[in-house]
């Protein structure tokens, strides 16, 4: 069974940093492109970042470019999102999502981890 389990969320002050992790199991992690998608409270879905299976290509939404860094460790079956210079508008549930056949659609999602910005 495919499982994606996010961790690392919490309460952080504006300007602070946080590192999210996503532990993958039930599939060959190194074969799949992976993504982070976020959802602000009561709002819609926003794609944040993607990384190809071998980390060759990385993409970011303009809203996070220069502040967030996506990475992965295929030996540990883990995906990461390093977030810095956090802003109030970064408050959201952050989902780890597996990309289906490198297509750009997401066939498996984690349960999400909540990041809350508050001074």
Partner 1 sequence: DIVMTQSPDSLSVSLGERATLHCKSSQSVLVTTTNRNHLAWYQQRAGRPPKLLISWASTRESGVPDRFRGSGSGTEFTLTITSLQAEDVALYYCQQYSTTPLTFGGGTKVEI
Residues that bind partner 1 (CB under 8 A): 35, 44-47, 50, 59, 61-62, 95, 100, 103-107, 109-112
Point out which residues pair with 103 in neighbouring strands.
none
Half-sphere exposure of 83 (CA within 13 A, CB side): 31
Nearer to partner 1, 17 or 111 (CB): 111
Nearer to partner 1 among residue 46 and residue 55 (C-beta): 46
Closest approach, Cβ 13 to partner 1, in A, equals: 27
To partner 1, the closest distance from the beta carbon of 103 in angstroms equals 6
Q: Tell how far CA 40 is from the center of its chain.
A: 14
Q: Residue 89 or 107: which CB sits closer to partner 1?
A: 107
Least CB distance to partner 1 at residue 41 (A): 12
How many Cα atoms within 13 Å fall on the side-chain side of residue 102? 11
- For the chain, the 3-state helix, strand and coil shares in percent, each to the nearest 5, are 10, 50, 40
């Amino acid at each position: 069974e495919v499982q994606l389990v996010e961790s690392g969320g919490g309460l952080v002050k504006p300007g602070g940093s946080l590192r999210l992790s996503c532990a993958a199991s039930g599939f060959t992690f190194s074969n799949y492109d992976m993504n982070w998608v976020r959802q602000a409270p009561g709002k819609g879905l926003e794609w944040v970042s993607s990384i190809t299976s071998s980390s060759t290509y990385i993409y970011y939404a303009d809203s996070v470019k220069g502040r967030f860094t996506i990475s992965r460790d295929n030996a540990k079956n883990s995906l990461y999102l390093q977030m810095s210079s956090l802003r109030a508008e970064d408050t959201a549930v952050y989902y780890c999502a597996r990309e289906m056949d490198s297509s750009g659609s997401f066939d498996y999602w984690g349960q999400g981890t909540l990041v809350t910005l508050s001074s």
